[in-house]
Amino acid sequence: MDRQIAPYRPQWAATPVPAEEPPQPPFELHDLLGFLRIHRKLILGTALTVVAAAAVAVTLMTPIFTADAVVILDQRKNNLTDATAVLSGLPIDTTSVETQLQVLKSTGLANRVVKRLKLDSDPEFVGSKGGLIGGAVNSVKQMLGKPPVAEATSPRNDLAIKVLDHIQASPVGLSSALKISASDADADKAAALANAFAAAYVEDQLAAKLEATHRATEWLTARASELSRKAQEAEAAVQLYKAENNITTTGAGQSVVDQQINDINGQLVAARADYGVKRAMYTQLARLAQSGQAANAAPVIASAVITTLRTQQSQMAGQLAQMESKYGPRHPKILDMRAELDKLDDRIAQEVQRQVAAARTEMDVAGVHVGSLQESLRQAEGKGAGQNQASVKLLALQSDAATARQMYESVLARLNQTQGQEQIEMPDARVISPAEVPLAPSFPKKTRTLMLAVPAGLILGLFLAAMKDRLHSGFRTVSQVEAALGVPVLAVIPDVPSKSGDKPADFIFKRPQSGYSEAVRRLNIGLSGRGRPKRVVGVSSALPGEGKSTLVVSMARSAAERGLSTVIVDLDLRRAQIGRILDQRNTKPNLIDVLAGNEPLDRCLVKDPRSNAMALVCSAIPSTSLDILSSARVGELIDRLRERFDVVLIDTPPLLPVSDTKVIGRLADAMVMAVRWEKTPRGAVASALRELAEIGTPLAGVVLVRAHGERFRYYAYGAASEYESYYRA
pLDDT digits (tens, 9 = 90+) for 60-73: 888 899 999 999 88
Smallest CA-to-CA distance from 247 within 126, 398, 423, 42 is with 398
- How far is residue 303's CA from residue 355's CA, in Å, rounded to a whole number? 9
- Residue type at 544 in one-letter notation: P
Supply the pLDDT for residue 250: 61
Assess whether pLDDT exceeds 70 at residue 295: no
Assess whether pLDDT exceeds 80 at residue 32: no
Query: DSSP states of 109-133 as a string?
Result: HHHHHHHHHTGGG-HHHHS-SSHHH
Smallest CA-to-CA distance from 638 within 629, 554, 716, 244 is with 629
Assess whether pLDDT exceeds 70 at residue 106: yes
- How far is residue 261's CA from residue 231's CA, in Å, rounded to a whole number? 31
Supply the pLDDT for residue 19: 41
Of 662 and 128, which is predicted with more confidence?
A: 662
Query: What mean pLDDT is reported for the chain?
Result: 78
164: three-class secondary structure by DSSP: helix
Supply the pLDDT for residue 539: 93
Which segments of the chain belong to CATH 3.40.50.300? 472-723
- Residue type at 606 in one-letter notation: V
If phi > 0 it is left, if psi is from -120 to 50 it is alpha, else beta; for residue 531 that is left
Q: Check: CB of residue 69 under 8 Å from CB of residue 434.
A: yes
pLDDT band at 17 (very low <50, low <70, confident <90, very high): very low
CA distances from residue 656 to 517, 573, 628, 687 in whole angstroms, order as listed: 29, 15, 19, 8
Assess whether pLDDT exceeds 70 at residue 82: no
Assess whether pLDDT exceeds 60 at residue 18: no
Query: DSSP states of 28-97 as a string?
Result: -HHHHHHHHHHTHHHHHHHHHHHHHHHHHHHHHSPPBEEEEEEEEE------SS-PPPSSPPPP-SHHHH
Can you tell me the mean pLDDT for 496-501? 69
- Residue type at 369 in one-letter notation: H
- Residue type at 711 in one-letter notation: R
Can you tell me the mean pLDDT for 12-22? 41
Smallest CA-to-CA distance from 449 within 32, 58, 26, 21 is with 58
- How far is residue 620's CA from residue 77's CA, in Å, rounded to a whole number? 106
Q: Check: CB of residue 157 under 8 Å from CB of residue 148.
A: no
Supply the pLDDT for residue 91: 60
Assess whether pLDDT exceeds 50 at residue 541: yes
Query: DSSP states of 409-461 as a string?
Result: HHHHHHHHHHHHHTTT---SEEEEE-----SS-SBS-HHHHHHHHHHHHHHHH
Share of the chain above pLDDT 70, in %: 78
Going by the DSSP 8-state scheme, the letter that residue 576 receives in this structure is -
Under CATH, domain 472-723 is a member of which superfamily?
Answer: P-loop containing nucleotide triphosphate hydrolases (3.40.50.300)
The stretches of 245-331 forming alpha helices (DSSP H) are 256-290, 298-301, 304-327
Angle at 95 between CA 89 and CA 100, to 5 degrees: 60
490: three-class secondary structure by DSSP: strand
Q: Tell me, yes or no, if the pTM score tops 0.85.
A: no
- How far is residue 451's CA from residue 55's CA, in Å, rounded to a whole number? 10
Indicate the pairing of strand 647-651 with strand 614-616.
Answer: unpaired
Supply the pLDDT for residue 80: 46
The CB density around residue 211, as the number of other CB atoms within 10 Å, is 12
Q: Check: CB of residue 96 under 8 Å from CB of residue 226.
A: no
- How far is residue 476's CA from residue 465's CA, in Å, rounded to a whole number? 16
Of 305 and 719, which is predicted with more confidence?
A: 305
* Residue 566 main-chain phi, psi, to 5 deg: -130, 145
Assess whether pLDDT exceeds 80 at residue 248: no
Query: DSSP states of 651-706 as a string?
Result: EPPPTTT-SHHHHHGGGSSEEEEEEETTTS-HHHHHHHHHHHHHHTPPEEEEEEEE
Q: What is the largest CA-CA distance in the chain?
A: 224
Of 560 and 372, which is predicted with more confidence?
A: 560
